[in-house]
Amino acid sequence: MKVLFIGSGLSALQAQSDKYHDHIKVCLNNAWRIYEGGEFDYWIHPNDFPQENYPSCVNYKHEVIHKEYSAVIHEGARRLDIHEESGFEIEKHIGYTSFFQGLYWIMLALSPREIGLLGFDHDYNKSKVDKWVADDKPNIQNFFNKKTEKTIKEWSDNYFQGFDKDFFYGHGTPDPMRFGPEYIERRMKLAQNNAEKLGISIVNYSKRPSPYNVFEREGR
């Protein structure tokens, strides 16, 4: 079995190709927009995912919220020989971003032989990242630094006005970078090692360049 794990980066647009018809499709957060008007298999999102961004015109078989994917990760920690003092520490250990949480849920709950990645190049516009970090990383947890706009989309369009878009649907915060680029690479290497323990291949299907080359590239 193969799984297609889709994020919000520009390479997510490749998921519209018929070549992935035999994959189980898992969308993270806003990636459901790829299948707007259609259907896919699993939708994963954290508890604080904005209600305004919930899908309304797409069909999916199962919604996976934090309670479910967290329970699977904690149970699977024993299989991966992960020993931390608390549940929070286990999640922090594997990578405390939605990308890593979703990736481990797929590895442990679905047990595919291959996980193909699209939209996870982490190829954010550096100028956007610099602005975001300098402004104390506005996000949903800090209420986007007291935004006055009615919607997150309106705030994003205003805040990142003039910058090149690095999400397939427009603008968004480079939230995975809140821990820094070195953190991302370390957790990618850990995920690669843990996938090998489980007999799973993680392959980046993206045709776009990425600052990270931990995972195997399709066709190599």
Residue spans per domain, the chain = 2-123+181-217, 126-175
Question: Cα separation of 211 and 188, whole Å?
Answer: 12
**Digits of tens for pLDDT over the chain (220 positions)?**
999 999 999 999 999 999 999 999 999 999 999 999 999 999 999 999 999 999 989 999 999 999 999 999 999 998 998 887 666 788 888 998 999 999 999 999 999 999 999 999 999 999 999 999 999 999 988 888 888 999 999 999 999 999 999 999 999 999 999 888 899 999 999 999 999 999 999 999 999 999 999 999 986 4
The H helix count followed by the E strand count for the chain is: 7, 7
Question: Cα separation of 137 and 133, whole Å?
Answer: 5
Angle at 107 between CA 21 and CA 78, to 5 degrees: 165
Q: Smallest Cα–Cα separation from 34: which of 60, 54, 8, 62?
A: 8
Angle at 208 between CA 204 and CA 212, to 5 degrees: 60
Q: Is the pTM of this model over 0.85?
A: yes
